[in-house]
Amino acid sequence: MIPINVLTSTAVPLPLPNIDTDQIIPKQFLKRIERTGYGDFLFFDWRYNLDTPDHVEPNADFVLNKPEYSGSKILIAEKNFGCGSSREHAAWAINQYGFLAVIAPSFADIFFSNAGKNGIILVRLSDENVETLMQRSTANPKHVITINLEEQTVTDDQGFKASFEIDPFRKYCLLNGLDDIGLTLRHIESLDTFESKHDHDFWNAPKA
Amino acid sequence: MAAKTLFEKVWEQHIVAEPAGEPTLIYIDLQLVHEVTSPQAFDGLRLAGRKLRRPERHIATVDHNVPTTSAQDRLVIVDQIAAAQVNALRKNCAEFGIEFFDVQDASQGIVHMIGPELGATKPGMTIVCGDSHTSTHGAFGALAFGIGTSEVEHVMATQTLPNSRPKTFLINVEGELPFGVTAKDIILDIIGRIGTDGATGYVIEYAGSAIRALSMEGRMTICNMSIEAGARAGMIAPDETTFAYLKGRRFSPKGEQWDAAVAHWKALPTDAGATYDRELHIDATTLAPAVTWGTSPGMTTTIGASVPTLNDAKSDADRKSYERAFEYMDLKPGTPMEEIRIDTVFLGSCTNGRIEDLRAAAAVVKGHHIATKVRAMVVPGSQAVKRQAEQEGLDLVFKTAGFEWREPGCSMCLGMNPDILQPGERCASTSNRNFEGRQGRGGRTHLVSPEMAAAAAITGHFTDIRKWKDVASTLPPTLPVEQMLVEGGSR
């Protein structure tokens, strides 16, 4: 995981609520056993027209195919982003496409967790603030947004400024690019103690 | 001692560490593993040189990818990418010492079917799986939730997960369910009321006389779709129904240990006087069979009603979603649900692929034939369900009526295997998600109960199951079952 603090970038507006992980990465790409290479399949069904089963063409109307938005590192969406399936492939696809942050009024729980494990900053702003940024990025693809994780703020050059909440521990991990398993293993003694007792609780054992 | 909820008891019994300023470290009793969300986790362990801490607290099977057409098609999977993923799980389970129920195993099935069937799922446990429908296991009073692949790896390495404590949400469903109304209709009604993000950040506890009256199958259907309301998990307090289901199963405690286990489980239900962060009370007697009309499980209505209009939208965001859904689903606002014709019927999934679901659907189908041009399939959720159904002759009822009778797996619920909808095809499905493209790109999904799916298969359009006797009497006569079998199930 790469540590991140300040992110300054143009943003891609995707003005839809309840964008589910089936849209972020459709099922057919979940058969792969690799952890990389998902960026090309991000929003596949929206991004490509299917002319024949074997031939896809980019859908020129979809925002990711508009050249003026290429290179953006921030995605803006409406409420409940990432709902549905637990597939971490959704976080991989977003990240591997090049997005480092998503701004929305709310996120689904499992996606929220998956994004954190992949160093993606999820910024929760009010409906009004998201709407303002959505409008500015829609009107002007060159509109630049700055997310400052340390200060927990989102700003732009037109005087927009909003602060966002983030769990202090999640922030600490993002800022330092920390490996989760390593962090847990700091508690190995507690774990060993707990487990040696818990293993006697046969009513909790998967295989009695 | 302070009064506690079911969730609080299970949570507190699994706290390994509570480091200041960090998430709580929770012990995981069981991790279920399947082919799709595990290969990268096993790779991660290998890369870091880590061991799988507790192999005996893992159970694996193949379900998402496997073809359901025939036993032979499953042994030699034509799709090379899918075959490689299934093989990776075989290899990984052997390498890391995980008990694996392969395609031909008598205990194979959808991962959320086999946990309970084996008796691996028990009250008071913490259970995870790289699959959002892990919430199913909450029907037994377990705390069970879906996780991503990084967390799968984390559990493999440590048998724990760092987790922030969710809030509690009581949904009380009181009263007797009207005729024709099922567990599926209860949960679709709930999601319709609170929305697909209505329970984000919460663990739901379902309670009340309508929930108590449900079988384990019905309770699993309800908990299964908790994630569709955004909930971290759904739980139901264990009771005599739970214990009767678990007694004698392969991984259930036996003899004296059984009695001791039941004594522990009986202490799990929420104490009198315990409070929840949020409550919702529903009168079961007012419920009706549900049908979804849109592209999110919250876009649900009842069979007697119509596709909503833009005037029914509660906000600008809703209006935008409605417009998009009308277009994707090719539905005119205001169309009565009963007038919507269907092309395909899918009966199965971890939501409604259990024996009771197949019995209920077979009772509707018996003596009838599916409508012309309708394609209908039954995909039992597990080998055990398939065997049981065949012993009861349900397979013959379905085949005689023109249904395809398949091998167990996730199948058309998500279309990772060859069972998919074609663009524009409309499906009455007993599964859990009606997202755009969920069952196949361009496919249109309507979520319903098994009974409603069966009725739609026969008439070719959504049909009020409460009036099934009247409807059935107007259908053209069918040949006696014996004769239909001789003629190969067609008419």
For B405-417, the pLDDT digits (tens) are: 999 999 999 999 8
The letter for the amino acid at A28 is Q
Closest chain A residue by Cα to residue B422: A53
Q: With beta carbons under 8 A apart, name residues in chain B contacting A26.
A: 437, 441
Q: What would the mean pLDDT of B74-102 be, rounded to a whole number?
A: 97
Predicted pLDDT of residue B478: 72
Distance from CA of B161 to the nearest CA of A (A): 8
Instruction: Check pLDDT > 90 for residue A180.
Output: no
Q: Between β-strands B404-405 and B375-379, what pairing exists: parallel, antiparallel or unpaired?
A: parallel
Q: With beta carbons under 8 A apart, name residues in chain A contacting B409.
A: none
Per residue in B140-194, pLDDT (tens digit) is 999 999 999 999 999 999 999 999 999 999 999 999 999 999 999 999 999 999 9
Q: What is the DSSP string of B52-71?
A: -S-GGGEEEE--SS---S-H
Edge-first strand listing for the sheet containing B278-283: B233-235, B202-207, B167-174, B278-283
Chain A within 8 Å of B243 (Cβ-Cβ)? no
Residues 16-35 of B with CB under 8 A from A: 16-17, 19, 21-23, 25, 27, 29-30
Contact yes or no for B40 and A204 at CB 8 A: no
Predicted pLDDT of residue B258: 98
Across the strands, what pairs with A52? A55
Q: With beta carbons under 8 A apart, name residues in chain A contacting B13.
A: 204
- Taking phi over 0 as left and psi of -120 to 50 as alpha, with beta for the rest, B204 belongs to beta
Q: Is B330 exposed, middle or buried (0-12, 13-18, 19+ CB in 10 A)?
A: exposed
Q: With beta carbons under 8 A apart, name residues in chain A contacting B148.
A: 86-88, 91, 110, 113-114, 117
For residues B384 and B358, is the Cβ–Cβ distance under 8 A?
no
* Residue of B31, B59, B196, B328 to mutate, testing the A interface (most A Cβ within 10 Å of its Cβ): B196
Q: What is the DSSP string of A90-114?
A: HHHHHHHHT--EEEES-B-HHHHHH
Closest chain A residue by Cα to residue B83: A31
Distance from CA of A152 to the nearest CA of B (A): 18
**B434-to-B293, B428, B437 alpha-carbon distances in Å:** 9, 10, 8
The one-character DSSP state at B382 is B
How many helices (DSSP H) and strands (DSSP E) are in chain A?
8, 9
Per residue in B337-387, pLDDT (tens digit) is 999 999 999 999 999 999 999 999 999 999 999 999 999 999 999 999 999
The count of CB pairs under 8 A between chains A and B is 209
Q: What is the ipTM of this complex?
A: 0.95
Closest chain B residue by Cα to residue A192: B16
Closest chain B residue by Cα to residue A91: B148
Q: With beta carbons under 8 A apart, name residues in chain A contacting B27.
A: 191, 194-195, 198
The one-character DSSP state at A61 is T
Q: With beta carbons under 8 A apart, name residues in chain B contacting A34.
A: 40
CA dist B456 and B448 (Å) reads 10
For residues B268 and B238, is the Cβ–Cβ distance under 8 A?
yes
For residues A18 and B321, is the Cβ–Cβ distance under 8 A?
yes
Contact yes or no for B251 and A208 at CB 8 A: yes
Of B82, B120, B415, the CB nearest to A206: B120
**Which residues lie closer than 8 Å to B130 by C-beta, 6 or more apart?**
A86, A88, B33, B34, B36, B37, B38, B41, B146, B147, B148, B149, B151, B152
Q: With beta carbons under 8 A apart, name residues in chain A contacting B131.
A: 85-86
Contact yes or no for A20 and B65 at CB 8 A: no
For residues B48 and A181, is the Cβ–Cβ distance under 8 A?
yes
CA dist B186 and B161 (Å) reads 31
Q: How many residues in chain B?
A: 491
> Given pLDDT bands bounded at 50, 70 and 90, which one contains residue B489?
very low
Contact yes or no for A27 and B324 at CB 8 A: no
Nearest Cα residue to B121 out of B207, B215, B31: B31
CA dist B358 and B363 (Å) reads 8
Q: What would the mean pLDDT of A27-33 be, rounded to a whole number?
A: 96
The pTM (predicted TM-score) of the whole model is 0.96
**Coil/strand/helix, residue B356:** helix
Contact yes or no for A194 and B320 at CB 8 A: no
Nearest Cα residue to A76 out of A26, A135, A5: A135
% chain B with pLDDT above 90: 95
Dig out the tokens for B118 from the structure.
């084996």
Chain A within 8 Å of B261 (Cβ-Cβ)? yes
Instruction: Check pLDDT > 80 for residue B487.
Output: no
Chain A within 8 Å of B164 (Cβ-Cβ)? yes
